[in-house]
Amino acid sequence: MTVLDLAFLVVAGFATGVVGYVTGLASIVSYPALLAVGLSPVAANVTNTVSLVAVGVGATAKASGKLFERGRTLAIWSACAAAGGIVGAVLLLASPADAFQLVVPYLVGAASIALLAQPIVRRHIGDAQVPHIIPVSVFLVSIYGGYFGAGAGVIFISLLLVFTAETMWDTAILKSFLLGVSNLVAAVGFAVFGPVNWTAALALGAGALVGGWCGPPIVAVIPPTFLRIAVGIGGLGLALWLALT
């Protein structure tokens, strides 16, 4: 890997961190970047998961005060994310690559539609909240996050906005933290058993750490409705890309 490749990955990592925090679409930047510097699809996948841990670290470091006020609830959700990440990593290392990816475009597409329709859904739900759905949902989405992860952030945002009264800002930091937990435990497994390209992971992760740090201030000044619609449309585009690749 050349110096130019490493510089490219650092820049791509920064974009990954910002895009990942703001929209939940980190892998749409990072995964193609790893393929572009010559990694195989499997190596790019596991290297990408390792690198994306940095987005959660950067974002959490910037907005940790608000995040950790949740106490026991956050601990439960984190445990679900960790368990899901472990299952996803095992699935990736033990199952055929195409087995899970058949349903991925539909998951991302459905989440994107739910996100775009969120005001209508919440209007029908009224003031009701169904937080008991969230731990199970976090576990299931984290399985996908540990397995591949493209669009997992969109699914997290959709779930939290539809089934809880969380704001867009709070949803963004929760999504980044929970995906960071899922990616971290999966990354430990990949570090031992997977073909991680550590040079690429460090370069991409360095940029992603700074990008994740820059994410919270950006989200704070973007109108929530605009951000929700942008993420939903981006998610639909990602679902189409995943269906065609």
For 188-222, give one letter per residue: b (16+ CB within 10 A) or e: ebbeeebebbeebbbbbbbbbbbbbbbbbeebeee
pLDDT band for position 138 (50/70/90)?
Answer: very high
CA separation for the pair 139, 182 (Å, rounded): 9
Whether 100 shows a pLDDT value over 70: the answer reads: no
* Among 13-22, 117-126, 140-149, 202-211, the least confident range: 117-126
pLDDT band for position 83 (50/70/90)?
Answer: very high
Residue 73 has a pLDDT of: 87
Q: What's the Cα-to-Cα distance from 47 to each of 7, 30, 44, 96, 170, rounded to whole Å?
A: 16, 10, 5, 18, 28
Q: Which two tokens stand for residue 68?
A: 């950790």
Spell out the residues 6+ positions from residue 41 whose beta carbon is closer than 8 angstroms to its own.
35, 97
pLDDT band for position 130 (50/70/90)?
Answer: low
Angle at 50 between CA 47 and CA 52, to 5 degrees: 105
Q: Which two tokens stand for residue 162?
A: 């539809």
Residue 99 has a pLDDT of: 61
CA end-to-end distance (rounded Å), the chain: 25
SS3 letters across 46-96: HHHHHHHHHHHHHHHHHHHHHHHHHCHHHHHHHHHHHHHHHHHHHHHHHCC
pLDDT tens digits along 222-238: 887 887 788 788 878 87
pLDDT tens digits along 39-74: 987 788 889 888 988 888 887 776 666 777 778 888
pLDDT band for position 240 (50/70/90)?
Answer: confident
**Phi and psi based region of residue 149 (left: phi greater than 0; alpha: psi -120 to 50; beta: remaining):** left
pLDDT band for position 201 (50/70/90)?
Answer: very high
The 3-state DSSP class for residue 14 equals helix
Burial of 18 (0-12, 13-18, 19+ CB in 10 A): buried
Q: Which amino acid is at 192?
A: V
Q: What's the Cα-to-Cα distance from 233 to each of 94, 111, 117, rounded to whole Å?
A: 33, 11, 11
What sign results for the dihedral spanned by CA atoms 23, 28, 30, 31? positive
Mean pLDDT for the chain?
82
Residue 13 has a pLDDT of: 92
Spell out the residues 6+ positions from residue 170 whose beta carbon is closer than 8 angstroms to its own.
66, 160
